[in-house]
Amino acid sequence: MDTVFGGAFVTMRRYAKPLFGLALLVNLALAVLVAAAAAVAYVAVSDHLHAIQDTPRDPRWADFRPVLLAFGGVWLFAAVGLTAASAFVQASCAATLHDAVLGRRATLRQIWRRTWPRTPSVLCVTLLLGLILMIPLLLFVATIVSLFLAMVLGSDLAYGVFFLLMLTALPLAAWLWVLFGFAPAAAVLETARPVEALRRSVRLVRGAWWRTFGITLLGGLTTLVLSLVIRLPLTFMTPSPRPYDPSSPTAPDAADALAQSLPHAGAYLALSVAGSLVTQLFTMVFLPLISALLYIDQRIRREGLADVLLRAAQSSGASGSVHE
């Protein structure tokens, strides 16, 4: 565990530019695209928005429907974009780690060129894993339904079904997530196709599930602690706005009260966005690094990958591929 966590932090320190630089560029590009999509959606349905807000009559479904479709499309576009961005960052982490274990320098341009061709494979792995995880998700939905029926009907049988489904859905989701967790690294470092990457992950995790689960869980807890360390001080540092009482004779106008609170709100918003960005970048880079390091560690333990890496590092003209 110390080797994996230490390797992740050392890699982030020595290869900060390609790791965090690419993650930052991808997130900024996604933010610009989503903002542009939202602006287009707003312009497209602005008449309907004005009809909803300014018309004295009750809004009609004919006004709501275009607005819901437009901004629902923006949300869908953002979700797809975030999935693709996460796949790209996962691929870039594995590609950077390839040079890190060989002791080579890696520039942002080199990692970009190596990452881009493998991103579709990692994206397909992510989508396939999402489909696989639909099984525990459906069980979880059934759990919620059984709890609702238990509360409405007061049936002991419904409560029993709720606890049974809960005990099944969560462990199954965790088991599947860990079982296929090495697939993105295999898709990049072995140039494996999506289905083959999933199979490779199953073969490598078999017999080491609990170790993989424990280290992955600690990685998730680490990101949670970092998020709390960043967000809690911001929460306590935010000044509480003075209560606004319009009936008081000394109370300022509503516009003046809003203007007085804007500087504090603007500063808090800027700090909050900066903190969220730092947390997002750390999470996007740290967790894939942990997974890729566990993948390499398992291959070293089972397949003698250390000898291959040593020969590749000592060979001045070798490509250093880890899929030998």
With bands split at pLDDT 50, 70 and 90, how would you rate the model's confidence at 249? Answer: very low
Domain positions in the chain: 2-314
Q: What CA–CA distance (Å, rounded) separates 317 from 1?
A: 33
- For 19-78, what is each residue's pLDDT tens digit? 999 999 999 999 999 999 999 988 888 877 777 666 666 667 676 788 888 889 999 999
Torsion of CA 315, 320, 323, 324, to 10 degrees: -10
Reply yes or no on whether the pLDDT at 240 is more than 60.
no
pLDDT level of residue 264 (50, 70, 90 thresholds): low
> Is the model more confident about 324 or about 127?
127
Q: What was the pLDDT predicted at 206?
A: 92
∠ CA 231-237-242, nearest 5°, is 125
Range in 168-177, 188-197, 253-262 the model is least confident about: 253-262
Encode pLDDT of 265-297 as tens digits. 566 677 777 788 888 899 999 999 999 999 999
Average pLDDT over residues 90-110: 90
Separation CA 292–CA 309 (nearest Å): 15
pTM, 2 dp:
0.81
Amino acid 211: pLDDT: 93
Rounded CA separation 92/113 (Å): 10
pLDDT(229) > 80: yes
* Mean pLDDT in residue range 134-146: 79
Is pLDDT larger for residue 165 or for residue 289? 289
At residue 105 the predicted structure's pLDDT band, cuts being 50, 70 and 90, is confident
